[in-house]
């Protein structure tokens, strides 16, 4: 395969799968790992990818991906995260689920739960959970973000402040090298801060494409969460830092 064609396919894989690994790419294309590292270095220099330990992710400089791109990205990893996170939610709990394709994956795995009260500012999540008659659903009002069915604004935070949640299931756009939880939409940052404040236990769900990814808005730090559910081991630098926190890191499927 010509180098340019290979790099084009690498970009497509990064977009669909989230994190791409040198070892996997070398096996897929039948080339040496050093060849793949050179491809990734060139794609990184052009701003199309960001290097992470053992591979690369789509560049955060490209901004937030639209909803359909995010929904179709790393679906297998998100499904594993959804199953593992849902397993930690007991029947009878009061839960907040925020906006995101990974939190939607958790909602799909809660369709056999009973006696739950779920509050959400995601119309997509509310529609998923509506199939379960044993879940009482409260939709936090606000201004509709048409791109992904999210509800945001002052009304959203006012509704959040009416509750005390047993669990919050939150997603974010990125977790950086300082273990800060980040997002692109400042209204979403504000809402998520309120959700964390009103919750006894906080579960962060973030697939591997979010790790070492930047965004301008700071929600808080991983230390504010009780558990991080992800689909691949953290890079060594983040793994060492996370061990100094009281936050558990669960790699779904491992």
Report whether 118 contacts 99 (CB < 8 A): no
| Long-range CB contacts for residues 221-227, cutoff 8 Å, separation at least 24 | 221/178, 221/179, 221/180, 221/181, 222/175, 222/179, 222/180, 222/181, 222/247, 223/179, 223/247, 224/181, 224/196, 225/170, 225/181, 225/196, 226/201, 226/202, 227/88, 227/201, 227/202, 227/203
For the domain made up of 3-62, the CATH class stated in words is: mainly alpha
Report the C-alpha gap between 109 and 5 in whole angstroms.
38
pLDDT computed for residue 115 by the predictor: 97
Sheet with 180-183, side-by-side order of all strands: 174-175, 180-183, 217-221
Model confidence pLDDT, tens digit, residues 149-165: 999 999 999 999 999 99
Q: How confident is the model at residue 62 (pLDDT cuts 50, 70, 90)?
A: very low
**Which residues make up the CATH 3.40.50.1360 domain(s) of the chain?**
67-251
pLDDT computed for residue 63 by the predictor: 47
Q: How confident is the model at residue 198 (pLDDT cuts 50, 70, 90)?
A: very high
pLDDT computed for residue 145 by the predictor: 86
Model confidence pLDDT, tens digit, residues 28-61: 999 999 999 999 989 888 777 778 778 887 665 4
Report the C-alpha gap between 250 and 205 in whole angstroms.
10
Report the C-alpha gap between 2 and 12 in whole angstroms.
16
pLDDT above 60 (res 200): yes
**Which residues make up the CATH 1.10.10.10 domain(s) of the chain?**
3-62
| pTM (predicted TM-score) | 0.76
User: Domain 67-251 adopts which CATH fold?
Assistant: Rossmann fold (3.40.50)
């Amino acid at each position: 395969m010509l180098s340019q064609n290979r790099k084009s396919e690498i970009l497509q894989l990064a977009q669909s799968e989230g994190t791409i690994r040198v070892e996997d790419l070398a096996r897929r294309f039948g080339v040496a790992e050093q060849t793949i590292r050179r491809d990734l270095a060139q794609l990184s220099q052009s701003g199309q990818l960001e290097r992470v330990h053992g591979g690369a992710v789509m560049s955060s400089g490209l901004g937030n991906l639209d909803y359909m791109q995010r929904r179709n990205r790393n679906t297998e990893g998100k499904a594993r995260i959804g199953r593992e996170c849902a397993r930690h939610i007991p029947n009878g709990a009061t839960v907040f689920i925020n906006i995101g394709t990974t939190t939607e994956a958790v909602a799909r795995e809660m369709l056999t739960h009973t006696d739950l009260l779920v509050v959400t500012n995601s119309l997509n999540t509310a529609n998923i959970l509506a199939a379960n008659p044993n879940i009482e659903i409260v939709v936090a009002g606000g201004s509709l973000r048409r791109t992904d069915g999210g509800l945001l604004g002052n009304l959203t935070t006012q509704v959040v402040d009416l509750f005390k949640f047993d669990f919050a299931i939150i997603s974010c756009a990125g977790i950086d090298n300082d273990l800060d939880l980040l997002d692109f939409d400042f209204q979403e940052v504000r809402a998520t801060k309120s959700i964390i404040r009103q919750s006894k236990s906080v579960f962060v769900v973030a697939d591997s494409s979010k790790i070492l990814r930047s965004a301008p808005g700071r929600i808080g730090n991983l230390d504010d969460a009780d558990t991080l559910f992800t689909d691949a081991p953290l890079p060594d630098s983040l793994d060492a830092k996370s061990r100094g926190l009281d936050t558990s890191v669960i790699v779904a499927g491992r």
